[in-house]
């Protein structure tokens, strides 16, 4: 892979370029829902999307926000992290995790946090290789 660059999605054009990569992680996500969710999450609590671009093509994206709670204090929460299938295992996810860590330090966060699916064995191994520790089990309940 040639030289890549990390960028923050600043406008609709950037968000449009990130959408196909995000859709690889969130397969049922329509473009309209993607834009609507971004707008709500961005205005509600500062959700941002960063991407990795090489030769004008986005190959990986990460969505994150800064949260505050009694358990973790101020921390950076990673909602989404994905590389395109053709670019997996090339270090892009690790670059985005490193970027998140640097952002967290710059923002005065106490740490970082993320959740992954209980069946996502490859994802869990990836995070453990990058010194993330399994610290909780998340529960969820759908309404309606």
What would the pLDDT profile of 61-77 be if each residue is shown by its tens digit? Answer: 999 999 999 999 999 99
CB 83 within 8 A of CB 47: no
CB 9 within 8 A of CB 15: yes
Per-residue model confidence as pLDDT tens digits over 78-106 = 999 999 998 888 999 999 999 999 999 99
Average pLDDT, the chain: 94
pLDDT band at 2 (very low <50, low <70, confident <90, very high): low
Helices 12-25 + 31-45 axis angle, to 10: 110
Percentage of the chain with pLDDT > 70? 99
Q: How much is the pLDDT for 1?
A: 45
**Model-level pTM greater than 0.85?**
yes
For residue 103, give every residue at least 6 positions away whose Cβ sits within 8 Å of its Cβ, in sequence order, or none: 64, 76
């Amino acid at each position: 892979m040639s030289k890549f660059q990390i960028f923050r999605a600043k406008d609709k054009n950037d968000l449009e370029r990130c959408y196909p990569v995000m859709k690889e992680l969130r397969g049922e996500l329509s473009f309209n829902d993607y834009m609507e969710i971004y707008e709500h999450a961005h205005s509600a609590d500062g959700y941002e999307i960063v991407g990795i671009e090489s030769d004008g093509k986005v190959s990986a994206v990460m969505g994150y926000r800064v949260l505050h709670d009694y358990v973790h204090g101020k921390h950076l929460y990673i909602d989404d992290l994905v590389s395109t299938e053709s670019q997996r295992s090339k270090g892009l996810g690790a670059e985005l995790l490193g970027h998140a860590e640097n952002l967290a330090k710059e923002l005065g966060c106490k740490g970082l946090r993320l959740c992954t699916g209980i069946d996502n064995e490859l994802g869990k191994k990836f995070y453990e290789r990058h010194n993330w520790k399994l610290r909780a089990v998340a529960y969820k309940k759908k309404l309606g």
